[in-house]
Amino acid sequence: MLALSSTTILSCNKDNTGAELIPVFKVGDTNQYMNFMIYDPPISIVAEPDDFARITIDIDKDGQNDFYVTSTHEISPNGDTSKSVFINIGVSFYFNDYAEDNVLYQCTEILNDSTQIVTNHTELSDFNCMPPGIDSIYNEYSGKEYYPVIHKFGDMVNDDFEWNNKFNLLALHDSSNFMHYDNGILSIIKNDIVRGYWGSEMDNYILTKKDVYGGPYYGWVKLSVRNCNEVVLYGFAFQKY
């Protein structure tokens, strides 16, 4: 693995006083005003069954880990699986993210007087509730989930961006199944719960900032999430203080 960490020498513009003009921050920048790390080849982690894997990132190169990208893979004895990727952030940093209601739908199909199939699903799952199943909103998972905004190379910071210092989910897929017996009714419970928008094979950017020394200072992390479980880290950068 070759990790490239360098300072690019640029011919800098100057204003009419002769002072150096610092370029406007853009997502994907690697210039002399940025501390950056590019991995060639990229770093890849994937959690083994009943385990987790983690990448730590010191984005501003101060010797302290700032981000923790974690892959999990839970599996039950009967083969049910739950996979997820999430990112934790240091206390001084913020993500450009957004909150989304945790809406869970429930499709109920009555097989007979004593048996029913109940499928919990989300808008992102492939499941469709077909007749005679009856679909409804199930509110057990109330509240909100925070997700990083997906940025592209060259994006610029907007004054309307939302910034939070919260646990952020990138991708989750729960395909577990179990049975529940209550009041003479056997319910066969199936989960097809998909959350997050980073679960496909893509290399996009997370935008972050830190308010320090009269900042804010901005940075980015470029990564992919595959199969709601594998994380591929291509690099990261942060403006120098």
pLDDT of 78: 77
Q: What stretches of 34-85 show up as alpha helix (H) in DSSP? A: none
Q: What stretches of 36-83 show up as alpha helix (H) in DSSP? A: none
The residues, any chain, with a CB within 8 Å of residue 79's CB and separated by 6 or more, are: none
Q: Supply the pTM of this predicted model.
A: 0.84
Residues in the chain, pLDDT under 70: 1-22, 140-142
pLDDT of 141: 60
Q: How far apart are CA 184 and CA 161, in angstroms?
A: 52
Q: How many domains does the chain have?
A: 1
pLDDT of 21: 54
The residue range of the domain holding 80 is: 2-239
Q: 210-219 b/e with 16+ CB inside 10 Å = b?
A: beeeeeebbb
pLDDT of 161: 93
Task: Evaluate whether 102 touches 86 at the Cβ level (below 8 Å).
Answer: no
pLDDT of 236: 97
pLDDT of 83: 94
- The tokens for 210 are 């830190």
DSSP sequence for 44-69: EEEPPTTEEEEEEE-TT-SSS--EEE
The residues, any chain, with a CB within 8 Å of residue 100's CB and separated by 6 or more, are: 144, 145, 146, 147
- The tokens for 161 are 């961006």
Task: Evaluate whether 31 touches 9 at the Cβ level (below 8 Å).
Answer: no
- The tokens for 141 are 């998972």
pLDDT tens digits for range 39-78: 999 999 999 999 999 999 999 999 999 999 999 999 988 7
Tell me, what amino acid is at 217? Y
